[in-house]
Amino acid sequence: MAMEAASFNWENPTKKELWGNIKGGHPWNYQPNGAITHIKIRWGSNIDAISFKSTDGNGNWTQFGGSTGRDEPPFEIGWPNDYLESITGSYDSIAINTLCFKTHRGKQYGPFGTPNDGEKKINISTKDSTIVGFFGREGALLDALGIYVKPFVEVSPVPLPDLPTPEPLPLSHELDTNHDHDLNTQIAINGYDQVKKSGKTESAA
């Protein structure tokens, strides 16, 4: 389902579950007034930072987390013809360890990071919705990650299908045959009566 940015309603998204070290670092929030178009990850033994670019950000990146680790090339989501549909990964008691992003059309960014023993899994799915923002906690690492979503039925109304052009109705007609001694046939067509007598047609009074 492709969506036009101009028809999208970005207000009042639903805040979903926070994954990771929910008490680490300090809170951060990213709710652009436009579509998220790019994501960029910095990682090493953990996910060090995550950055976003959106249609309302004048081409600027917004980063959350630390400044160390390997900087991956940015991932272009492909809005409005594609959108983020799921996020998987893992975390431990310190920070987010791994992340992988997938779009509705099957593009994948990741996985990035380093799995650790005893970690817990991240499994974020957005059936019938799209991700319109992120939130979490940050310090020297990306400590925790959550998402904001909006249902398609609220943000991009499905256009009504074009109705077929109706076929023109046939002329209303009624046939009433009277058998009299002259074998007259009375025909009513479109409100005009005509009497046909022995092959001669006259207008009825």
Which domain does 102 fall in, by range? 14-151
In a domain, 78, yes or no: yes
Q: For position 141, which CATH number holds?
A: 2.100.10.30
pLDDT tier at 152, thresholds 50, 70, 90: low
DSSP notation for 115-175: --TT-EEEEEE-TTEEEEEEEEEESSSEEEEEEEEEEHHHHSPPPPPPPPPPPPPPPPEEE
In a domain, 1, yes or no: no
pLDDT in tens, 64-82: 999 999 999 999 999 888 8
pLDDT in tens, 174-201: 444 444 444 444 444 444 444 444 444 4
In a domain, 131, yes or no: yes
In a domain, 24, yes or no: yes
Q: What is the pLDDT of residue 81?
A: 87
199: left (phi over 0), alpha (psi -120 to 50) or beta: left
In a domain, 176, yes or no: no
Number of domains in the chain: 1
The encoded tokens of residue 150 equal: 């909006």
pLDDT in tens, 99-141: 999 998 999 999 999 999 889 999 998 877 889 999 999 999 9
Residues of the chain above pLDDT 70, percent? 70
Residue 77 DSSP code: -
**Which has the closest alpha carbon to 139: 43, 28, 26?**
26
